[in-house]
Every structure is written in structure tokens, then in C-alpha cells.
Amino acid sequence: MIGTGKIGVAMLRILKGFGMRLLAFDPYPSAAALELGVEYVDLATLYKESDVISLHCPLTDENYHLLNREAFDQMKDGVMVINTSRGALIDSQAAIDALKHQKIGALGLDVYENERDLFFEDKSNDVIQDDVFRRLSACHNVLFTGHQAFLTAEALISISETTLGNLQQVANGETCPNAIV
């Protein structure tokens, strides 16, 4: 697990139910994750020892293409990689090469780094022009879900509550912690 915020911890709870050994990397360890028995390790150890790597972190300048050629080279053969965070956390061309050489055994993508023209309207009658996306989608062991990870009752309630809370803070003349300036 890379990223142990609220969503990462929710995923860890699910994985714990399968009896998995829980390894994680996060610069800010979570008390909730530690209570689940998570062992925090560095990225090199996580790559080397994990059968499944799931991304649950924001995209920053520091982690752009976090999973790149060098990262894939350190991973176990046949690793399952899941990204429900931000598309640009994965170097898509490097992922294609890792799939081709069976370094990645399965790839689940709810997000894709060049998704803007792909996921937000019906493209079923269009020829996709993105060659990297076309190559990934042609692989039998790649699954795209097109931004469906957020579409749960819990997530929508949380989004609504946060939005209403933000509006209330602004209406009260308070500083909003989620303000975009």
C-alpha cells in the first residue's frame, strides 16, 4: 500500500480480511493503519516484497511517475498493481514494458495519466487516438474502470458533507481549510 490516508486505511481493512501481510509506505504513518498491524517500510522493500501494490496517495511533483521503469524492475515478477489515485503516479509506457515482460501480472486502473479525453463522456463510437491507452486496453490482464472508485454511497456522502461544511465556513466568514486560491 502506498498511501495510508482514509482511503488507504479502508483498503487495508479489506485486505486484512484476506489474511494478507500488510506493508505500507507513507511519509506520514497512520495510527489507524498501525492498529491494523501494518508494517511501514521504505519503497524499495515494498516493491521487493509485495504481491499486490495499491496506490492511495495524492499526485505531487515528488511522486510524478512514482511507478516507473526503475520501480517496476525492483518488483516481484507477476505483481498486481492497482491505481485508484492519480493517473500520473504510473509511467504508462513503463507499465506497458513491465506487462510485456511479465513483471506486472495484472494492472487495475481507475485513473490514467492522459484520461482527460477518454473517461468523462461516451466515446464508444470513437476511435481512440491515444496509442498508449490502446495498447494497455488491448492487454487481457489490464482492467480500466474509468473513475468509478469514487462512486460509492459513502464517498458521495463524504463529498457532500465536505462541500456543505466548506460553504458553511465561508458563509460564517471563517477560513476554509479546503479553499483553492
Domains of the chain listed by start with CATH number? 6-150 (3.40.50.720)
Mean pLDDT of 85-100: 95
Q: How many helices (H) and strands (E) does the chain have?
A: 7, 6
Q: 86 an active-site residue? A: yes
Please give the pLDDT value at position 179: 73
| Sequence-ordered list of residues with C-beta below 8 angstroms from that of 107, at least 6 positions apart, any chain | 80, 81, 82, 95, 99, 136, 139, 141, 142, 143
How many percent of the chain have pLDDT more than 90? 59
Task: Give the pTM.
Answer: 0.78
Q: How far apart are CA 133 and CA 89, in angstroms?
A: 15
H/E element holding 53?
strand 52-55
The sign of the CA dihedral 73, 75, 78, 82 is negative
Which residue among the candidates 65, 69, 135, 147 is catalytic per the annotation? Answer: 147
Say which of 69, 86, 154, 161 is annotated catalytic: 86
Q: Which pLDDT belongs to residue 158? A: 76
pLDDT over threshold 70, residue 84: yes
Average pLDDT over residues 100-121: 81
Strand order in the sheet with 104-109: 52-55, 79-83, 104-109, 142-144
The pLDDT, as a whole number, for residue 175 is 85
130-164 confidence digits (pLDDT tens): 687 788 888 899 988 866 655 566 766 777 888 88
What is the overall mean pLDDT for the chain? 88
pLDDT 10s digits, 23-65: 999 999 999 999 999 999 999 999 999 999 999 999 999 999 9
Q: Which of 39, 115, 135, 154 is labelled catalytic?
A: 115
Q: What is the dihedral of CA 158, 150, 79, 136, to 10 degrees?
A: -160
Decide: 72 and 95 in contact? Cβ < 8 Å: yes
